[in-house]
Amino acid sequence: MIVCSCNVFSDTQVEAAIAASAERLRMSKVYASLGCAAQCGRCAHTIKAMLDQSECVGAACRTRASRQPH
Q: What is the DSSP code string of 2-55?
A: EEETTTTEEHHHHHHHHHH-SSPPPHHHHHHHTT---SSSTTHHHHHHHHHHEE
Q: What pLDDT score was predicted for residue 22?
A: 79
**Rounded to two decimals, what is the model's pTM?**
0.74
Annotated domain spans of the chain: 2-67
pLDDT digits (tens, 9 = 90+) for 18-61: 988 878 888 899 999 999 999 999 999 999 999 988 865 444 55
